């Protein structure tokens, strides 16, 4: 399993991660980010893409 | 013997290319050559939150993934020449690096004003971490800051300096801040918002000289008007770091011309096998818009181009059967950009600067909003202030 962390002090809810891994990240009705904290290893590539595209570089994979 | 890749430019684009090479199975040596002494870090915070706080490498460094643990870093020693026939890169210290695959990711540097009394202290740019550290030290309450240039970076610096209690004047030759990407209506509104936060604008003006003996005390506009200043931040435009390619036959007339596989192209129009271009330097056609090769200085482009190059170059080096197929696959990344100014989250997609008309498609001009940018009837860009979900609806339309 992969553990995902979003630094909510950094996150500005731009939502770019949502396009990379919509099963992990979503914007709620108030445009605030919600995410699931663990994912199967098969999701690593898309989650790394979400890490890459985050404008605030707020997302990390906890190794 | 295993093959080797040299990546010139140890910033985001070079790093993403290295990761992508590994992710696509390339196991040979990767050497990253960088001018700066620092490992790769994220530049946008340098004009925003990092500039407002204590500036450290740790605060902005990219995490180095396990894929790139064995990369060789050659930092603080920029590439100075390339021999395409011998496949060798030479650096300022005289070291030579042979390659089978080369990634050109040497990026941009800020253009600075050429002024008669220019050799005095107090002048700053905000491209590198060291630039930001130097500028941060001067931004104390009451400091008189003149920002030259009213693009995104200039406006971000202006907003950050206001937040730090500085007196800020923004001088630009443009009629409105950020007008080129955003158009007159939104640009004028953003000027109003900056002014409401206390930024003073001197638009339609250039800077002709500085006043001061050792340190800046004033800035002279082309009208002759003098503005008191302790600090001048120059955010006017950029130069491409292509001088090290000047002895080659590559087309470096504006960045480095690249084909759709991001292979570098010569002045004769021929693609050079094994030589690729990444990031701000890459001038390539994007079929999402048209066939005109352009450089795109948006933050997601180093990542998009780095991944593309990692995929194609690893196939090339492996003599993979799918190489021709990869090369023929269209490359059409959606440019994306964002900017924090005061409490505004500005987010854009596409190429709004190419539009022939724009239209407010959601929200209110004086509040949160979404602006759509069109060429003919086709949406080619969207910019929002807040309203993320609305912006994302139009983003989907851009790639459909």
The Cα of A29 is separated from the nearest Cα of chain B by a number of Å equal to: 9
Measured distance CA(A28)–CA(A26) in Å, rounded: 6
Backbone angles phi, psi at B106, to 5 degrees: -85, -5
Q: Cβ separation of B66 and A63 shorter than 8 Å?
A: yes
Instruction: Quote the distance between the C-alpha of residue A35 and its chain's center.
Output: 6
Question: Contact, B62 vs B42, CB < 8 A?
Answer: yes
Chain B contact present for A5, CB below 8 A = no
Q: In CATH, which superfamily holds the domain spanning B4-109+239-328?
A: FAD/NAD(P)-binding domain (3.50.50.60)
Measured distance CA(B306)–CA(B287) in Å, rounded: 18
Where residue A23 falls among pLDDT bands split at 50, 70, 90?
A: very high
CA angle at residue B13 from B25 to B233, to 5 degrees? 170
Q: What percent of chain B has pLDDT over 90?
A: 96
Measured distance CA(B92)–CA(A31) in Å, rounded: 49
| Largest distance between two CA atoms of chain B | 66
- Provide the b/e sequence for A23-59 (b: ≥16 CB within 10 Å): ebbebeeebebebeeebeeebeebbbbbbbbbbbbbb
Instruction: Quote the distance between the C-alpha of residue A58 and its chain's center.
Output: 8
**All structural domains of chain B with their residue ranges:** 4-109+239-328, 112-236, 343-399
Q: Which two tokens stand for residue B256?
A: 């480095």
CA angle at residue B83 from B77 to B84, to 5 degrees? 125
Chain B contact present for A41, CB below 8 A = no
The Cα of A31 is separated from the nearest Cα of chain B by a number of Å equal to: 6
Chain B contact present for A2, CB below 8 A = no
Mutual angle of helices B300-317 and A44-53, in 10-degree steps: 140
Chain B contact present for A15, CB below 8 A = yes
Residue B365 CB coordination number (10 Å):
13
* B63 chain-A contacts, CB cut-off 8 A: 60
pLDDT of residue B1: 63
Residue among B122, B85, B74, B24 nearest B250 (CA) = B85
- Please tell me which of the candidates A16, A45, A55 has its beta carbon nearest to residue B44: A55
Q: Which of A2, A16, A46 to mutate to test the interface with B (most CBs of B within 10 A)?
A: A16
Question: Contact, B201 vs B150, CB < 8 A?
Answer: yes
Topology, domain A2-62: Alpha-Beta Plaits (3.30.70)
| Tens digit of each residue's pLDDT (9 = 90 or more) over B149-165 | 999 999 999 999 999 99
Average pLDDT of the segment spanning A17-37: 95
Q: In CATH, which superfamily holds the domain spanning B112-236?
A: FAD/NAD(P)-binding domain (3.50.50.60)
Residue among B148, B170, B162, B201 nearest B51 (CA) = B162
**All structural domains of chain A with their residue ranges:** 2-62
Closest-approach residue (CA) in chain A for B48: A56
Closest-approach residue (CA) in chain B for A49: B303
Measured distance CA(B309)–CA(B358) in Å, rounded: 34
Q: Which of A20, A52, A54 to mutate to test the interface with B (most CBs of B within 10 A)?
A: A52
Which class for B133: exposed (0-12), middle (13-18), buried (19 or more C-beta within 10 A)? middle
- Please tell me which of the candidates A27, A53, A57 has its beta carbon nearest to residue B388: A27
Topology, domain B343-399: Enolase-like; domain 1 (3.30.390)
Question: Fold identical between B112-236 and B343-399?
Answer: no
User: Chains A, B: CB contacts under 8 A, how many?
Assistant: 37
Could you give the C-alpha distances from B296 to B282, B286, B314, in angstroms and in order? Answer: 8, 10, 24
Measured distance CA(B308)–CA(B266) in Å, rounded: 20
Average pLDDT of the segment spanning B98-123: 98
Q: What percent of chain B has pLDDT over 70?
A: 100
| Mean per-residue pLDDT over chain B, rounded | 96
| Tens digit of each residue's pLDDT (9 = 90 or more) over B364-398 | 999 999 999 999 999 999 999 999 999 999 999 99
* pLDDT tops 90 at residue B399: no
Q: Cβ separation of B303 and A15 shorter than 8 Å?
A: no
| Residue in the structure block whose two tokens are 């994979």 | A61
Residue among B78, B71, B46, B74 nearest B60 (CA) = B46
Residues 261-320 of B with CB under 8 A from A: 299-300, 303
Residues 71-110 of B with CB under 8 A from A: none
CA angle at residue B205 from B203 to B208, to 5 degrees? 150
Closest-approach residue (CA) in chain B for A59: B63
Measured distance CA(B350)–CA(B211) in Å, rounded: 42
Q: Which residues does B290 contact at the CB level (< 8 Å), separation at least 6?
A: none
Instruction: Quote the distance between the C-alpha of residue B356 and its chain's center.
Output: 24
DSSP letters, B84-141, are: TTTTEEEETTS-EEE-SEEEE---EEE-----TT--SB-EE--SSHHHHHHHHTT--T
Average pLDDT of the segment spanning B203-228: 98
Measured distance CA(B318)–CA(B323) in Å, rounded: 9
* pLDDT tops 90 at residue B400: no
pLDDT of residue B210: 98
Q: Cβ separation of A14 and B338 shorter than 8 Å?
A: yes
């Amino acid at each position: 399993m992969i553990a995902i962390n979003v630094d909510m002090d950094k996150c500005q809810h731009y939502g770019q991660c949502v396009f990379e891994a919509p099963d992990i990240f979503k914007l709620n009705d108030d445009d605030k980010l919600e995410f699931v904290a663990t994912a199967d290893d098969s999701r690593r590539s898309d989650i790394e893409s979400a890490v890459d595209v985050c404008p605030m570089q707020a997302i990390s994979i906890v190794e | 013997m295993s093959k080797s890749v040299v990546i010139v430019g140890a910033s985001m684009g070079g790093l993403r290319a290295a990761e992508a090479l590994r992710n696509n199975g390339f196991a040979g040596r990767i050497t990253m050559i960088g001018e700066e002494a620092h490992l790769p870090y994220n530049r946008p915070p340098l004009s925003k939150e990092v500039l407002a706080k204590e500036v450290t490498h740790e605060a902005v460094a990219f995490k180095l993934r396990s894929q790139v643990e064995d990369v060789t870093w050659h930092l603080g020693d920029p590439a100075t020449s390339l021999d395409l026939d011998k496949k060798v890169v030479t650096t300022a210290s005289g070291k030579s690096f042979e390659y089978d695959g080369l990634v050109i990711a040497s990026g941009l540097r800020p253009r600075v004003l050429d002024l008669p009394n220019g050799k005095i202290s107090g002048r700053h740019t905000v491209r590198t971490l060291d630039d930001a550290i130097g500028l941060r030290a001067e931004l104390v309450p009451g400091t008189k800051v003149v920002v030259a240039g009213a693009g995104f970076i200039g406006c971000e610096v202006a907003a950050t300096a206001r937040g730090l209690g500085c007196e800020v004047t923004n001088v630009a030759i443009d009629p409105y801040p950020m007008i080129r990407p955003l158009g007159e209506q939104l640009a004028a509104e953003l000027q109003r918002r900056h002014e409401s936060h206390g930024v003073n604008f001197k638009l339609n003006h250039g800077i002709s000289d500085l006043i001061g003996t050792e340190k800046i005390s004033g800035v002279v506009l082309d009208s002759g008007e003098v503005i008191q200043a302790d600090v001048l931040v120059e955010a006017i435009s950029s130069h491409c770091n292509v001088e090290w390619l000047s002895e080659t036959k590559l087309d470096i007339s504006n960045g480095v011309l690249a084909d759709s596989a991001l292979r570098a192209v010569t002045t004769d129009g021929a693609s050079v096998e094994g030589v690729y271009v990444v990031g701000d330097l890459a001038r390539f056609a994007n079929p999402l818009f048209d066939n005109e090769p352009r450089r795109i200085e948006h933050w997601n482009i180093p990542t998009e181009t780095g991944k593309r190059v990692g995929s194609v170059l690893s196939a090339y080096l492996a003599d993979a059967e799918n190489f021709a197929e990869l090369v023929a696959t269209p490359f059409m990344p959606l440019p994306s950009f964002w900017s924090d100014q005061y409490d505004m989250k500005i987010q854009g997609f596409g190429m709004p600067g190419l539009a022939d008309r724009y239209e407010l498609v959601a929200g209110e001009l004086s509040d949160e909003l979404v602006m759509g940018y069109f060429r003919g009837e086709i949406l080619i860009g969207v910019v929002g202030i807040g309203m993320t979900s609305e912006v994302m609806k139009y983003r989907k339309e851009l790639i459909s």
